Amino acid sequence: MPADTMATLQAATEDLEARGLAEQAVQGGETAPDFVLPNAVGEDVRLSDRLATGPVVLSFYRGGWCPYCNLELQALQAALPEIKQAGGQLLAVSPQTPDASLSTKEKGNLDFEVLSDAGNEVASGYGLVFTLPEAVQEAYDNFGVDLAAANADDSSRLPMPATYVIDADRVVRYAFVKADYTQRASPAKVVETLHSL
């Protein structure tokens, strides 16, 4: 990657960190907002319904175009047997369209729900959404990333990656939110939290 592009992406991350956006998102001990979102085949999934059968690991990711997100989804897939053994279930959420979510699910051989948050409405409720600076939008365009097509939304808004472990009372028992999109929650920590419930 060209040095000037790296500098642009780093400056955008540093700006998010300086604004304290991650600290303003839903944190541990808070109540997780309920939601209904379509899965990759268009069926509605409600958080509270899933919580009625056990704790939920909720992962917000930017989209299937993001290599860091794909690595995280693969790590969660690898940890899925342990997540299930600990009584948990996994939901991943991005602003992608259902078709793009289906593609992410199929390409990654993911055995968990991949949900579509059109317009980042749910991610906004969790305090995760920000608007990409124009320079970053241009860098993504140069990478061939068409966010407007992937999300059916030309707002250039994305969620900060975040992972939550939510108990049956909708209390967040673990929260990992970082402005730096290269940092993600450890699946081992997620499993450890599930075992502690």
| Structure confidence by residue, pLDDT tens digits, 20-65 | 999 999 999 999 999 999 999 999 999 999 999 999 999 999 999 9
Q: Which residues contact 137 (CB under 8 A, 6 or more apart)?
A: 147, 156
pLDDT value at position 34?
98
| Phi-psi label, residue 142: left if phi above 0, alpha if psi -120 to 50, beta otherwise | alpha
pLDDT value at position 4?
86
CA 83 to the chain's CA centroid: 17
| Structure confidence by residue, pLDDT tens digits, 80-138 | 999 999 999 999 999 999 999 999 999 999 999 999 999 999 999 999 999 999 989 88
pLDDT value at position 190?
98
Q: Is 2 helix (H, G, I), strand (E, B) or coil?
A: coil
Residue ranges and CATH numbers for the domains of the chain are 3-196 (3.40.30.10)
pLDDT value at position 64?
93
- Residue 43: name the closest of 141, 114, 126, 121 by CA: 114
Give the pLDDT mean for 143-166: 90
Q: Is 162 helix (H, G, I), strand (E, B) or coil?
A: strand
Give the pLDDT mean for 174-179: 96
